[in-house]
Amino acid sequence: MSQKAEAALKSIENQINVTSQQVTFAKAYILQHFNEETPRMIQEFLKAMEATMPDEIIIHPNVDTDGMVKNTAKSISWTLACCEAIWQLIHANLLIPATSGSHRPNPPLKWTTILPNGPRSGEFSNWNLEYLFFSVPGRVLRPHSLSSQTYQPLSDPDLFLHTLDIHGLHDEVEKSLREAVHCFRHELYLACLTMLGRASEGAWIELGLKLVDTVPQESQVKAQSVKEKLEDSFVSISKKIMETLKLYEHKDIFAKIYKESGVNLQDLRNAVIWSDSVRESRNSIHYGVEPSMPNTYEKVAALLISAVPHLRLIYRIIQATNSIV
């Protein structure tokens, strides 16, 4: 192999990058566009991501070799993400291997130093990229108990966050939501509510602090006092939520945020009701305290599902404050 071909292959290897976000996209695609045959499913996924493998890489100064190398690395990265997603869905009991045979993506990649319409002198060969890939079952099935449900966002943290679709979600809020879904999947409902409550608290405190930062200095609102309460670990979360709600009631101060976010005061009050329900259910962690309704599968699932619109709403206001500031 020539030095230029070795350099191109090394460049492909260096540009391969698989992120958790890519795996999440792959999970969502697999469940929404399910196909039993994994080779076909992977190829359809690559087409959807506009990441199909190039037929050939031409190594020549008169063509865009770097672009071909980049596209190849992109295709390999998405392929690996899809394979990883398949295994994660299997371990989450959302897919079941349906054959003892396996599929190992190993697309033969041609390379050449010969231009298509140029002189026929030069080099050409194939790269064996098998070492970059790992095997997945050749065929998978959806569990019969889930066959009527194509998407299960409450069964996997990645799928839940994909459904939530909030950009700029605070790291601690995201971590809490992931743990909440993990607990729910294992029927640990009280633990799930505890982490969901933590996510709710984090979102409200973040919102309150963002609003405080946008209060004009000449305003009569005592922003510093509100900030101290929000940051005081001895102040109850119910008090912090009410302080944030009272702050948002000053429509004259936050007129631009109201317009930018599209969130009115009643919408935010509805989010308070949801947060109160989560907190009341979670408070049964205290000895001798019972929730008004038992923390059953149906109740906890409803609170988790309700988190999606209410957290989106809170973060719409946060994003509006960020854009205005």
Q: Is the per-residue pLDDT at 117 higher than 80?
A: no
> Which of 146, 179, 202 is a domain's end point?
146
Please, are residues 4 and 113 in contact by the beta-carbon 8 Å criterion?
yes
| DSSP labels, 142-184 | --GGGTT-S--GGG-HHHHHHHH--TT--HHHHHHHHHHHHHH
The confidence band for 325, taking pLDDT boundaries of 50, 70 and 90, is: low
Nearest alpha-carbon partner for 70 in 123, 130, 17: 17
Q: Cα–chain-centroid distance for residue 72?
A: 25
| Residues 113 and 47 placed together within one structural domain of the fold | yes
> Which of 146, 173, 206 is a domain's end point?
146
What local confidence, expressed as pLDDT, does residue 241 receive?
A: 96
| Residues 65 and 161 placed together within one structural domain of the fold | no
The confidence band for 119, taking pLDDT boundaries of 50, 70 and 90, is: low
Structure confidence by residue, pLDDT tens digits, 227-240: 999 999 999 999 99
161 or 324, greater pLDDT: 161
Per-residue pLDDT, averaged over 20-30, amounts to 88
Structure confidence by residue, pLDDT tens digits, 167-176: 889 999 999 9
Structure confidence by residue, pLDDT tens digits, 41-63: 999 999 999 999 888 899 888 88
- The whole-model pTM stands at 0.66
What local confidence, expressed as pLDDT, does residue 116 receive?
A: 78
| Residues 127 and 198 placed together within one structural domain of the fold | no
> Which of 89, 118, 146 is a domain's end point?
146
The confidence band for 32, taking pLDDT boundaries of 50, 70 and 90, is: confident
Structure confidence by residue, pLDDT tens digits, 261-315: 999 999 999 999 999 999 998 887 776 777 777 888 889 989 999 999 999 999 9
| Residues 212 and 290 placed together within one structural domain of the fold | yes
Task: Dig out the tokens for 150 from the structure.
Answer: 């194509």
Looking at the structure of the chain, the number of domains it has is 2
The confidence band for 40, taking pLDDT boundaries of 50, 70 and 90, is: very high
32 or 232, greater pLDDT: 232
Element holding 119 (H helix, E strand): none
Neighbouring C-alpha atoms within 13 Å toward the C-beta of 19: 5
| Residues 183 and 133 placed together within one structural domain of the fold | no
| Residues 250 and 272 placed together within one structural domain of the fold | yes
Residue with tokens 């939520």: 241
| Residues 165 and 96 placed together within one structural domain of the fold | no
| Residues 175 and 310 placed together within one structural domain of the fold | yes
What local confidence, expressed as pLDDT, does residue 230 receive?
A: 94
Structure confidence by residue, pLDDT tens digits, 64-89: 999 999 999 999 999 999 999 999 99
Read off the DSSP letter of residue 37.
B
**Average pLDDT of the chain?**
89
What local confidence, expressed as pLDDT, does residue 28 receive?
A: 87
| Residues 236 and 313 placed together within one structural domain of the fold | yes
User: What is the CB neighbour count within 10 angstroms for residue 189?
Assistant: 20
Residue with tokens 């505890």: 194
Q: In what order do the strands lie in the sheet with 109-112?
A: 56-58, 109-112, 124-127
| Residues 46 and 163 placed together within one structural domain of the fold | no
| Residues 119 and 33 placed together within one structural domain of the fold | yes
- Whole-number percent of the chain with pLDDT over 90: 54
User: What angle separates helix 20-32 from helix 157-164, to the nearest 10 degrees?
Assistant: 90
| Residues 190 and 263 placed together within one structural domain of the fold | yes
Q: Which domain holds residue 53?
A: 3-146
What local confidence, expressed as pLDDT, does residue 94 receive?
A: 86
Structure confidence by residue, pLDDT tens digits, 137-153: 999 998 877 655 555 67
